Amino acid sequence: MKRKGIISILFIFLVVLAGCSAGKVKLPAQSEVTDKVLKDVFAEHGMKVGTCISANVTQKEATSNLMVAQFNSCTMENAMKPDYILDQAQSKAAGKPVVKFNKEAISLMGWAKKNGFSMRGHTMIWHSQTPDWIFRKDFAINGDYVDREEMLARMEALISGVFEELKTLGYIDLFYAYDVVNEAWMEDGSMRASNWRTIIGDDYLWYAFYYADKYAPESIDLYYNDYNEQYKADCIAEFVKTLKDDDGRSLIDGIGLQAHLFTADDVTTYLEGVDILAETGLKLELTEVDVGLGKYQGALVNTDTNLKTQGRYCYELFQGLFERADAGKIRMDAVTFWGFSDGFSWRREYSPQLYDSDLDPKYALYGVMQIKEHAGYDPAE
Ligand code: GLA
């Protein structure tokens, strides 16, 4: 490329960069707007409020301080997923799946305990982020898959192993909820394909809850967790009715609604889904909330206008949830956001969180906190 071309591209880049930072409208600090923090607002409705955590955010002073000040529940973003908690060499040696939490998981539990957090466990039975060798003979990386009986035994060892390890480590009391199964249903009402299902059969879901109920302490609520829940609500509501033991007792305590939303999604439709799920009588929790700007295949730039839309979206969504909780229409112990800052979010291109990447508050934060005058509305609204 000619020198002149490079210079003009550089110039355009600098102009865009300057435009972006100059464009940021700084909102008043939380302490100027309210004497409450997030966890005070949720406590008023009988709920905890959580964020997902990783060593990346617990080990930095600024992010750790923000989380400790605002939240009182947390979920590991990755460190308790099957890929991270199963030890292949020890499983081979023992002839059954061996659960061993890694250094990150143990340090995150230590951080949570030290800072007075409660925890959600996430997750055990999932089609994704699960080692393929757990399904194969001799825990080998290739070769034949095991049969149904062997796979059920492995499922039992995995689930019992999680609770036993947490007891051994002395952290079991931190946990109040566990996502036993993640994302087993499709939007069209069919069951998602997975190795668990192929090898065991469709009743793998029943067995997952049967074993979890057998080994979990009473203090831990057992959850089914899924995304696009507003479109799967009827299907999930039917499914959870099947999770009963021989005496008709429910093996499941709650439904986790991931709530990976977009500002283009309709709040009313979402709340209708919540109402359908509430009719099951089970507890509900929003487990991974983030509200992206735009839609899945169309992220919007974080202009002040778009951020205001997000603020109003959050205001309306949480107004709907708090009203339902206060009226006893939903039983909701906690809401968990999938992060807290746009800078650390897995969906950062959609700017979906309550604080921006400088950890400054967004309209979305004040929307969730129901502080309407800072949630992105026109003064007249
Ligand atoms: C799903 C899972 C989460 C996480 C997100 C992406 O929602 O339940 O554990 O993997 O995807 O971070």
- What are the pLDDT digits (tens) for 137-183? 999 999 999 999 999 999 999 999 999 999 999 999 999 999 999 99
Residue nearest to atom 8 of ligand 1 (CA): 182
Quick check: is 185 in a domain? yes
Q: How far is the CA of 213 from the centre of ligand 1 (A)?
A: 23
Q: Does 223 contact ligand 1 (Cβ within 6 A)?
A: no
Mutate to test the pocket of ligand 1, among 228, 338, 340 (most ligand atoms within 8 A of CB): 338
- Is it the case that residue 8 has pLDDT exceeding 70? no
Does the pTM exceed 0.85?
yes
Report the percent of the chain where pLDDT is more than 70: 94
Domain that holds residue 108: 28-374
Q: For residue 126, which atom of ligand 1 is closest to its CA?
A: 8
Quick check: is 18 in a domain? no
Quick check: is 9 in a domain? no
Q: For residue 288, which atom of ligand 1 is closest to its CA?
A: 7
Q: How far is CA 359 from CA 19, 26, 29, 356, in A?
A: 20, 11, 11, 5
Q: How far is the CA of 1 from the centre of ligand 1 (A)?
A: 42
Q: For residue 75, which atom of ligand 1 is closest to its CA?
A: 9
pLDDT tier for residue 5 given thresholds of 50, 70 and 90: low
Q: What is the CATH number of the domain that holds 222?
A: 3.20.20.80
Average pLDDT for residues 262-275, to the nearest whole number?
Answer: 98
Between residues 5 and 244, which one has the greater pLDDT?
244
Beta-sheet strands, E only, within 188-293: 221-226, 254-257, 260-262, 283-292
Residue range 19-45, pLDDT digits in tens: 344 479 999 999 999 999 999 999 999
For the chain, the average pLDDT equals 95
CA 371 – CA 363 distance, rounded (Å): 9
- Strands 298-299 and 294-295 come out as antiparallel
Q: Does 224 contact ligand 1 (Cβ within 6 A)?
A: no
pLDDT of residue 381: 80
pLDDT of residue 30: 98
For 81: left if phi > 0, alpha if psi spans -120 to 50, otherwise beta; the answer is: beta
pLDDT of residue 15: 38
Structurally, the chain folds into a number of domains equal to: 1
Q: Does 227 contact ligand 1 (Cβ within 6 A)?
A: yes
Q: Does 288 contact ligand 1 (Cβ within 6 A)?
A: yes
Quick check: is 1 in a domain? no
pLDDT of residue 23: 78
CA 374 – CA 362 distance, rounded (Å): 9
- DSSP string for residues in 145-164: B--HHHHHHHHHHHHHHHHH
Residues marked as catalytic: 183, 288
CA 185 – CA 59 distance, rounded (Å): 36
Residue nearest to atom 12 of ligand 1 (CA): 346
- Is it the case that residue 283 has pLDDT exceeding 70? yes
Quick check: is 14 in a domain? no
Residue nearest to atom 4 of ligand 1 (CA): 77
Residue range 289-332, pLDDT digits in tens: 999 999 999 999 999 999 999 999 999 999 999 999 999 999 99
Q: How far is the CA of 229 from the centre of ligand 1 (A)?
A: 14
Beta-sheet strands, E only, within the chain: 48-53, 73-76, 118-126, 175-182, 221-226, 254-257, 260-262, 283-292, 294-295, 298-299, 334-337
pLDDT of residue 380: 81
